[in-house]
Chain A
Amino acid sequence: MDTLAISNLHVVVNEKPILKGVNLSIRRGETHALMGPNGSGKSTLGLAIMGHPQYEITAGTIQLNGQNLLEMSPDERARAGLFMAFQRPVAIPGVRMADFLRHASTNVRRPERKEGEDLIPMREFRKELRERMEQLRMDPEFARRYVNDGFSGGEMKRAEILQLAMLQPKFAILDETDSGLDADAVRLASQSIAEIGGKSMGLLIITHHDKLLEHNPPDFTHVMLGGRIVETGTFELAIELHQQGYDRIRAANPDADADNQAMTVKTEQVGA
């Protein structure tokens, strides 16, 4: 059974400690929801797992089937079977979705491929991409557009799901794939993740709501506060948090809450 194991993870960003000892273990086939107030460190956890260069690991380990991910570059992590759907994916002007996806799919499916070696044959790739886009009810014209360039919020999220579908990772982190979408779009996204085989992956779904979870009911729900996972429960916990907010959690974890508030204030000062 493929396992992604995070142990005592401490992460510093721009000299600010964000994660303060995160423990989390995900097995392939499981769905985990990760919730928590703004600034609690949810996205940081995802970016640290994926290997963003600005996220410095000061303590702890991340392992995929016992292999140390911290020694691997982001592309090696992707080839090992990790994927992250970003909250705000960047635009790559002039690069067509289809070309980008063909390159990415080839590398991820043939992890030992060397630069310059052949890509998936064009005809075969186009057929597969067309089928995936049909399944996701996307306009085929989308494949010809430049990556995330001039995309609406909804289009960006659909493009991330399309990439998830094409790359079929062992583990996927979905960072607020529902944010900025209207209710119908969230339902479609939720359904799409299930349709493309989300259940065969290990999913870490970062969300504030329960709608995205509708078609992907979590086996576990984790609550993050002040850079730690302070509570773990079932789907019911996700529903409770969506309906009632984090007051109970904050009250039960005053230290983590104080940290969270300090982190949020700092973030705002930096932003202002």
Chain B
Amino acid sequence: MATDITEKNTAAIGEINKYDFRTESTAVFKARRGLDAEIVQQISEMKGEPAWMRDFRLRSLAIFESKPMPKWGGDIGVDFQDIFYYLKPTDHQGRTWDDVPAEIKETFDKLGIPEAEKKFLAGVKAQFESEVVYGSLQEELGNKGVIFTDTDTALREHTDLLREYFGTIIPPEDNKFAALNSAVWSGGSFIYVPKGVKIEFPLQAYFRINAESMGQFERTLIIVDEGAHVHSVEGCTAPMYSTESLHSAVVEIVVKRGARCRYTTIQNWANNIYNLVTKRAMAYRDATMEWIDGNLGSRLTMKYPAVYMMEPGARGEILSIAFSSAGQHQDAGAKLVHCAPHTTGQIISKSISKNGGRSSYRGLVKVEKGATDARCNVVCDALILDPRSRSDTYPYIEVAEQDVTIGHEASVSRIGEEQMFYLTSRGLTESEASTMIVNGFIEPLVKELPMEYAVEMNRLIQLQMEGSVG
């Protein structure tokens, strides 16, 4: 077996700033670099998966290999053979906080997770390298029949439920990176909310990448049964590395009749990360799906959360913020597909570009034949902080019906000299003033976030903005 056992990552512990640090990581298993059928089989074997999952992975690998790289979006400079596809930090999953290894706790401490948990976390799901190592879930949820676990555990313990939906919302054929994730996926969250159960607090998961050249391919599946409500939150702050790193997740969500689901993501990737994510939800009769998506950092992000409105009365909402700085390209957007009559959708997208960063909005609104009385509104606002930065808008609209209402507004603005003068004349420095203007620009979305995340979002923006004017 061509595997290195107990490979030690001797990265120095050096805190450059709160969101850019590494902790020494003692991995007990690390697959060799590269991607082929043998690696995929090994991953499946290590996890002790059933044959159908192994076959699904192998089939997905073949699809991945047969699909060309996308010719649109951004420049994906990833060498797929130079990546580790699987890493397992500890043999056993931590049941309680005491079981979690000290160095992993240290990483979480720096992220402020325990405090966050004290305040309002219901359950923490943290992905450290490739597996969820710590998960806590309030008993209350268990008693209501809610399942909130990592996807590997779900595969073992809720096999039938998982198998019914897994890969049905985003099949491996969907796109090259969905196929890649399907072949090598590891970790991610699995949530099932039974009929009529309304979870009043957000369920949270933190993900991090923490091994050089380590791909992270989490796989999330959420099933919200009839009349149920859930809000799932994931946060991401990645340490900085010098070599390329790939993050390619898949998030599948089913929102059944009369149910509601909100999925909030705040991602702050290091500058070398390629973040290529497929997120899609199917909303059935009178169901509501909301994606709230904040993207900071990364070398390239390509992410377009989608809602397919499958039955009458379904509603899809996507709010997104993208922030790109030097060497970063955010190609982010949204996709709304009206497949049934009387469905409504809304997209609000805000992007900020500075120091030569590039933000693109790429969105699709599609009305299928028969989806009469579909209503959809798209608003995208871009803020460009300096002449070197760039913003593009690619709105696609495909309508196969007559009786529909579609609105589209787009604006591009620069921070005005008068706004800067006004704020600086009140004693704010230029950089404080521009940070304040940027925070104001994204305020309509930030106010939708849980408080802890809103605070973090503002802090991240501040870090991004520091020293940006001069």
Contacts and interface: CB of A to CB of B under 8 A. Distances in A.
A262 B442 CA distance: 45
B79 interface: no
Contact of A92 (B422, B432, B466): B422
B424 A74 contact: yes
B436 A95 contact: yes
A107 B427 contact: yes
B443 interface: yes
Nearest to B437: A92
A115 B429 contact: yes
A53 interface: yes
* A interface SS class: mixed
Nearest to A86: B422
B18 to A, nearest CB: 12
Interface stretch (A6-14, A77-85, A129-137, A223-231): A77-85
A181 B18 CA distance: 50
Contact of A75 (B425, B441, B466): B425
B421 A74 contact: yes
Interface in B445-470: 462, 466
Contact of A108 (B419, B427, B429): B427
B255 to A, nearest CB: 30
A94 B422 CA distance: 15
Nearest to B426: A104
Contacts of A89: 422
Interface residues of A, number: 32
A109 to B, nearest CB: 9
B441 A104 contact: no
Interface residues of B, number: 27
Interface in B411-436: 416-419, 421-433, 436
A95 B432 contact: no
B439 interface: yes
Interface string A102-138: 0110011000000110000000000000000000000
A3 B428 CA distance: 24
A175 to B, nearest CB: 12
Contact of A146 (B419, B431, B440): B440
Nearest to B431: A115
A248 to B, nearest CB: 35
Given A53-B417, A90-B416, A78 B426 contact: yes
B293 to A, nearest CB: 19
A87 to B, nearest CB: 12
Q: Which 10 A-B pairs have the closest CB atoms?
A: A94-B440, A94-B443, A107-B427, A95-B440, A78-B427, A104-B426, A74-B424, A108-B427, A75-B424, A74-B425
29 contacts: A54-B417, A73-B424, A74-B425, A75-B429, A75-B433, A77-B425, A78-B424, A78-B426, A83-B426, A86-B422, A89-B422, A92-B422, A92-B436, A92-B437, A93-B440, A94-B440, A94-B442, A95-B440, A99-B436, A103-B436, A104-B423, A104-B427, A107-B426, A107-B427, A115-B466, A116-B462, A116-B466, A146-B440, A147-B440
Interface of A: 50-54, 73-75, 77-79, 83-84, 86, 89-90, 92-95, 99-100, 103-104, 107-108, 115-116, 146-147, 163, 167
Given A53-B417, A53-B421, 18 more contacts: A73-B430, A78-B424, A78-B425, A79-B427, A86-B422, A89-B422, A95-B437, A100-B436, A103-B428, A107-B426, A107-B427, A107-B428, A108-B427, A115-B429, A115-B466, A116-B466, A163-B426, A167-B426
